[in-house]
Amino acid sequence: GGRRFAFAALVVVGDQKGRVGYGAGKAREVPEAIRKATERAKKTMIRVPMKEGRTLHHDVEGTFGAGHVVLRSCTAGTGIIAGGPMRAVFETLGIGDVVAKSLGSRNPHNMVKATFAALQRCASPRSVAARRGKKVSDILGKRDAALEGADA
């Protein structure tokens, strides 16, 4: 009895403008596994609100299984400080300044899923203001309101 090999692929796709998705695929051949994963990734794309088009609006945490990630927004020029699979997510998303720490599971699937769980919890000041029935300036304070009106 010979062995029947199968290959698995984990793919992250994004437009570098705030949309990103991930997918997993399995097949007998590597290109077919990548194609399946890419199709699934395109179907699961989410939109993430970004501050000034380069970082997150606020710090956020996400969990999936034993994988736990902490994402922190940063000042301009910080760059992407993240390990492995998380870096790929931020690069395809278009985030340029973020600090991310993964805790627990080092399994790439769990890290990516935990990162997506965190990104889905990100809220823009506009959505928070609408949910609370307030103005964006009330949420941010007077100093940041002028900036936020321009890029939100």
Q: How far is CA 115 from each of CA 23, 24, 50, 61, 137, rounded to the nearest angstrom?
A: 13, 15, 15, 8, 29
Strand partners of residue 62: 69
Tokens of 66: 């034993």
- Segment 96-113, tens digit of pLDDT: 999 999 999 999 999 999
Q: Is the pLDDT of residue 146 over 80?
A: no
At 142, the pLDDT band (50, 70, 90 cuts) reads low
- Segment 80-97, tens digit of pLDDT: 999 989 999 999 999 999
CA distance 46 to 146: 27
H helix runs in 1-152, sequence order = 30-43, 84-93, 108-120, 125-132, 136-140, 142-151
Global pTM? Answer: 0.86
Domains in the chain (CATH in brackets) are: 49-121 (3.30.230.10)
Q: Exposed, middle or buried, 29 (CB in 10 Å: 0-12/13-18/19+)?
A: exposed
Q: Are 39 and 33 in contact (CB under 8 A)?
A: no
Nearest Cα neighbor of 97 from 106, 87, 85, 111 is 87
Q: What is the pLDDT of residue 29?
A: 96
Calculate mean pLDDT across residues 129-137: 88
- Segment 10-67, tens digit of pLDDT: 999 999 999 999 999 999 999 999 999 999 999 999 999 999 999 999 999 999 999 9
> Which position has the token pair 């690069």?
91
